[in-house]
Amino acid sequence: MFSCLLRQFHRENGDQGETRPRQKESGILSLSAEKTSSQNCNITNHMKNMNKLEDMKFYIRKIHAERVELFLILDIEMNTDLNYRMNIEFTIIKSQHEKKMLDMEKMMQSISDTIEKYKEFMEDNNSYSFRHTYLLKECNQLKVKDDVYQKQIALMANHKHRQSNVTVNQLIQALTCVSYKCLFSCV
């Protein structure tokens, strides 16, 4: 990097070296005077360039130090800001988590209550189903008895067996009672 800067300074000052040959002047004095003045000029130009180079090196070091300082400040600010944001976000996330956990507990309680009610309904349903099947069987038995009694009455009437009035009345009462029982128990 510094060599690039040094080359750039040499080019700006016209110190690129000779690209075309100079014409030789006559005389030894003129040659030595030219060399001396040219060397002095080159030395002063070189000294100026070296001073500029030192100034540029100092300027680059200064910029680098400022850059490092700015990066440190930025890093501290970013970490401070990041810590602040993380603390704020953590509290927000924590409160959201607590809310979700409360909602889940309510939902779990609701589910367990629903399961308990379901069990109660199933027990009631089973008891009603059992009672209903029992009543249906009893109703069918009463219908069968009713049919039997009616057949007996028909047989007695057909065979013209006259029995006492009391047995016929008992049969009619039994039939009436069976019919009422069947009607009320099936409903």
Condensed to tens digits (0 to 9), the pLDDT of residues 166-185 reads: 566 666 676 666 655 555 55
Place of tokens 């040959």: 21
- Determine the 3-state secondary structure of 98 from DSSP: helix
Instruction: Give 113-135 pLDDT, tens digit per residue.
Output: 999 999 999 999 999 988 999 99
> At CA 149, angle to CA 161 and CA 163, rounded to 5?
25
Two structure tokens written together for 7:
């080359």
Q: State the Cα–Cα distance between residues 159 and 115, nearest whole angstrom.
A: 65
Q: Report pTM.
A: 0.36
- Per-residue exposure over 14-38, b if at least 16 CB sit within 10 Å of its own CB, e if not: eeeeeeeeeeeeeeeeeeeeeeeee
Share of the chain above pLDDT 90, in %: 28
- Given this model, what pLDDT does residue 18 score? 47
**pLDDT digit string (tens) for 64-115?**
999 988 888 877 777 777 777 788 888 889 999 999 999 999 999 999 999 9
Q: Are 139 and 186 in contact (CB under 8 A)?
A: yes
Chain-wide mean pLDDT for the chain? 76
